[in-house]
Amino acid sequence: MTVAFATSELTPIAKVGGLGDVAGALPKALAHLGVNVCVIMPHYDTIDAAKYPITDTGKKVSVRAGGQDYVVTINQTTIPGSEVPVYLLENTDFLTGGGVYFEKSAMVNSFQEIERFLFFSMAVLPALAALGIEPDVLHCQDWHTGMLPTFAKIAGGHTKTLFTIHNLANQGKWDATEILSFIGLTVEHHPNLALRDKHDDINLIQQGILSADLVNTVSPSYAEEILTNEYGYGLEGDLTNRGQQLSGILNGIDVGRFNPATDKDIPQAYTATTADTGKAAAKALLQEKSGLPVNSATAVFGFVGRLTNQKGTELLPGLIDRFLATGAQLILLGTGDPVLETQMQGMAAKAPEQIVTTIGFDAALAQLIYAGSDFFLMPSQFEPCGLGQMIAMRYGTPPIVRATGGLRDTVQEFDAATGQGTGFVFKDFTSEAFWVEIARALEVFKQPTAYATLKTNDMTQDFSWDTSAKHYVTLYERLGQHMGAT
């Protein structure tokens, strides 16, 4: 089976968030299962050629966009630590400059962003053809590749499409006339192109949802939630109509990369049996680097994530006085919405002895927070899957999460009496409900035996991609059967 994986991000070559982590890990796990997989993505100029050896395949394709012809050069690298080929599509008019996304907030506010990914999507099938690859399955990720299933249908080959929704909140909408003129198609080419929202926009994630042969999202709970008005962003009807063709597969994490036994960003390697000393060393370094009093008895709560409303940091100000009264420390790392950045900086400015906020993207500091914190906060308003909570558990740091999407599927409430469970889970999106679980965590922290059990429970969870990759193979096989039937 040949699978081409089309993506806008890939960790570590070009990472912004969890989508990159999936793209960097799932194809490797698929290759281990014997799938003949390649990745195809834009060749951003932020991709560091010194770190990731890049060769020119010698192949070029011409793509007609907005009535003009453009040349796309096909370069090649591999996913680091594997032989999985990554084809990098280079074109200075649309694909190369400006980082992975032009927008910092993951929202689309300009045609520039839309154009980039329309152009990329238009180049994917011709580039694969030039490389002599006719995939059985074209696996498309998020709105950036939302038009690809339609392009595959119009091309009429044997390739079937799977569209994976990583985050329904980011949709990629733009004026239909501009989109159609750029891609050079009309509604006669495909009926889904006639769909408009109330602003006469075409919604690229909706195109993917409607046109792909199968659709999935990144956790079973999120697959159910997006059928509701609350989480469906107006697409709940379209998603409901897909019936059994929509499913949820939990993401894994790259357990090779996120591994406290080999992590270079932590001071002392550790496993489940040596977690006490390893985590103590990481905690001391984290406190020291953060400029906080170094004290092993003080509970440290960590947060790493994009600062958007999704991540729920706005619940913190409503509980912070109670938090400070306990003497605990809070270490936050994130970047995103300037309003939330200022809010997190403001909290730290008021209590510099207990709270530290770092604004920015810092992979090394993130690892130190995962390892050195006593608890990891993920109070998300919604969370398609979430990787932070799984990474934290892998490092023996119990997460405190809201029961939504993948957080609900991966974290079970800890019961000190039975020793069962992996973290702390609250339901209502309120500071009150969040505080109840933080207070519970602090109680457990005071009970060394219970806390040690909880840490061990976390570190012995299996979040590797193996299981999830098998579920993806099952979906690919379903597409194959579907193929035979049509």
- Contacts with ligand ADP by CB under 6 A lie at 17-18, 21, 304-306, 333-335, 361-363, 366, 385-388
Closest chain position to ligand ADP (CB)? 18
Q: How far is the CB of 408 from ligand ADP (least distance, A)?
A: 14
> Tokens standing for 461?
């969870």
Least CB distance to ligand ADP at residue 471 (A): 18
| Cα–Cα dist 392/399, whole Å | 7
CA 349 centroid distance within chain:
30
Please name which of 251, 195, 200, 217 lies closest in space to residue 142, comparing C-alpha atoms.
217
Rounded Cα–Cα distance for residues 204 and 165 (Å): 12
Q: Which is nearer to ligand ADP, 174 or 222 (CB)?
A: 222
Structure tokens at 105: 């907030």
> How near is the Cβ of 467 to ligand ADP at its closest, in Å?
18
Q: Virtual CA dihedral for 449, 455, 460, 462, nearest 10 degrees?
A: 150
Classified as helix, coil or strand, 266 is: coil
Q: Smallest distance from the beta carbon of 14 to ligand ADP, in angstroms? A: 13
- The full 3-state SS of 302-313, as one line of letters, equals EEEEEECHHHCH
Query: Phi/psi of residue 376, each to 5°?
Result: -120, 130
**Strand order through the sheet with 36-42:** 55-65, 68-78, 85-90, 36-42, 2-6, 137-141, 160-165, 214-217, 246-248
Q: How far is the CB of 312 from ligand ADP (least distance, A)?
A: 12
CA distance 398 to 374: 7
Nearer Cβ to ligand ADP (312/334): 334
Q: In the bound complex, what is the minimum distance in angstroms from residue 306's beta carbon to ligand ADP?
A: 5
Nearer to ligand ADP, 146 or 334 (CB): 334
Euclidean distance between CA atoms 206 and 204, whole angstroms = 5
169 or 180: CB nearest ligand ADP: 169
Considering beta carbons, is residue 14 or 304 the nearer one to ligand ADP? 304
CB of 220 to ligand ADP, least distance (A): 16
Decide whether 279 or 306 has the Cβ nearer to ligand ADP. Answer: 306
SS3 219: coil
Nearer to ligand ADP, 89 or 385 (CB): 385
Q: Which residues contact 88 (CB under 8 A, 6 or more apart)?
A: 41, 42, 43, 47, 54, 74, 75, 76, 77
| Closer by beta carbon to ligand ADP, 190 or else 306 | 306
**Cα–Cα nearest to 334, from 317, 300, 310:** 310
Rg (CA), the chain: 23
Number of Cβ within a 10 Å radius of residue 175: 15
Nearest distance, CB of residue 176 and ligand ADP, angstroms: 28
Q: CA dihedral in degrees (27, 32, 38, 40; nearest 10)?
A: 20
Smaller CB separation from ligand ADP, 248 or 334: 334
Q: How far is the CB of 7 from ligand ADP (least distance, A)?
A: 13
Instruction: Identify any residues that bridge with 355 across adjacent strands, giving them in sequence order.
Output: 330
